[in-house]
Amino acid sequence: MDKKTIIASSAYERTVHWFLAIPCLLLVLTGLILAFRSFEPMAIIFGGYKSVMIVHRVCGLIFTGALLLTIQLWYKDAGYLDGSDIEWLMKAGGYLWKADIPEPYKYNAGQKLFFLTVAIYGAIMVITGFLLFFKGSLNPIFMSWVTGFHALGVMIIGGFSMVHIYLGTIGTEGSLHVMTHGKVSEAWAKTHMPGYYKEKIEGKKD
């Protein structure tokens, strides 16, 4: 068993990650309660319907700040897709069938795509959520579009988040360590973030 470890994430990165993730999940849950009658019985978890609204708005403010920090922190490494990323996506990252896939630096194309989705649609959710504060005073037709985009965001970010949670826990053994204590085995780093591994351990950078 490989007992040698490497630091895969800093304390600051882990803090920002959970600062974004926890409010995001609460926003999805409270948003469903506010939008659909079938979810209303779950309001008891928060102490009632009015409390759900308060939690939703507070989490929205926290999410906004965390989103800005997230974009600032990970844009350099995950804010783009290059040719090797497109090849990775075309081969489904080797998850669905055996394939020779390009070696990523620190984040593969799937992780980059998740980051871009959160960054772009997260911003749309913040803007549309802010506009919904003034739902009664703005043009009804305009607000119907705003509501639609906001609802679409729940499906897009919620769906991507479920995949992200699965792959970050039981789907890829050892991945959860990246965002808990920040240390992974050298063998894991060599497999999942080979460019980063070479830079930190072998002193190389392509």
List domains and CATH numbers for the chain: 10-86+109-176 (1.20.950.20)
pLDDT surpassing 70 at residue 193: yes
Percentage with pLDDT > 70 across the chain: 96
Highest mean pLDDT among 36-45, 57-66, 178-187: 57-66
Higher pLDDT, 19 or 206: 19
pLDDT surpassing 50 at residue 1: no
Residue type, 28: V
Find the range with the poorest average confidence among 51-60, 118-127, 162-171. Answer: 162-171
Q: What is residue 167's predicted lDDT score, i.e. its pLDDT?
A: 82
Inter-residue contact 29 to 201 (CB < 8 Å): no
Residue 124: band (very low, low, confident or very high) from pLDDT cuts 50, 70, 90? very high
Global pTM reads: 0.85
